[in-house]
Amino acid sequence: MWITERPFAHRGLHDKQVPENSMGAFKRALKENYYIELDVRLLADDEVVVFHDSNLKRMCKESIKIKDLTSEDLRNKKYFLPNGEKIPLLKDVIKLCQGKTKLLIEIKMSYSKGKLEEKVYELIKGHEDWIAVQGFAPSTVRWYSQNAPEFLIGFLATHFGKSIPDRIYDTVIQRVCGKYKIDFLAFNIKYLPTPVVADTVNKNGMKLLSWTIKSADHIQTARQSGVGNIIFEDFLPQEYEK
């Protein structure tokens, strides 16, 4: 399964000069020969945009929701990324990366009732040999399991502290992974190792990925937890690749 063959650069290979989820970050990942993880949302004109937050405030200093903008709006310089780049569309990233690396697309949680999942599928259909999808929402993995089982599908999971008790969310993980066609579980490194994750992965014949790996200590934890691949940032994980 190619999903475990090479580490994924989280939101591209970004730093203080090259913003996350930018074409510059993706080009750097290509140069360093890493796979790429990225986030997608839906614009007002139903174009799929590569952007993590629901609001532009953190990245662009503009307090506006990304879903309220169109692809034409993104040509306006006030919505440019800190390095002067335009926020990219998924179709342009696919064009950049095809034949050069592999992509892991995180479908951000939304209220589009399957429209985001469908629009992403329209762009990636036929590319299941180098594109995989993942999401936190059970509705996302359900949609792909039912409509696009040819793709590698991942369920993103973590522990949420007081908002959702661990024991309750552990049950969600077990139920979701046991019910749908899910190929890998991507779990927060902060909460590994955990018996529920190990048992769920083994019982369902899944691969285990972990995010976000930021140090050699995280790599050590990943190895001890049976992680098959990592999603990393803030360093180059050469040690993991040896």
pLDDT at 139: 96
- At 80, list the tokens: 């440019």
**Domain around 42:** 2-241
- The three-point CA angle 144-147-153 to 5° equals 25
Tell me the CATH number at 42.
Answer: 3.20.20.190
pLDDT in tens, 46-59: 999 999 999 999 99
Q: How many CB atoms lie within 10 A of CB 76?
A: 11
- Establish how many alpha carbons lie within 13 A of residue 173's alpha carbon, considering only the half-sphere containing its beta carbon: 28
Radius of gyration of the chain (CA): 17
Report residue 35: phi and psi, to 5°. -70, 165
For the chain, the average pLDDT equals: 96
User: How would you classify residue 46: left for phi > 0, otherwise alpha for psi between -120 and 50, otherwise beta?
Assistant: left
pLDDT at 175: 97
pLDDT in tens, 57-89: 999 999 999 999 999 999 999 999 999 999 999
Question: Looking at the predicted structure, is the pLDDT value of residue 93 above 80?
Answer: yes
pLDDT in tens, 25-39: 999 999 999 999 999
Q: Is the pTM of this model over 0.85?
A: yes
Report residue 150: phi and psi, to 5°. -70, -20
User: How would you classify residue 131: left for phi > 0, otherwise alpha for psi between -120 and 50, otherwise beta?
Assistant: beta
Range list of H helices, 33-165: 57-60, 90-97, 115-124, 138-147
Q: Which one-letter DSSP state was computed for residue 74?
A: G
pLDDT at 51: 98
pLDDT in tens, 128-171: 999 999 999 999 999 999 999 999 999 999 999 888 999 999 99
Where are any strands of DSSP class E within the chain?
8-10, 35-42, 48-50, 103-107, 131-135, 152-157, 184-188, 207-213, 229-232
Question: Looking at the predicted structure, is the pLDDT value of residue 241 above 70?
Answer: no
pLDDT in tens, 194-240: 999 999 999 999 999 999 999 999 999 999 999 999 999 999 987 55
pLDDT at 240: 56
Give 50's contacts (C-beta < 8 A, 6+ positions apart). Answer: 21, 38, 39, 40, 87, 88, 89, 90, 93
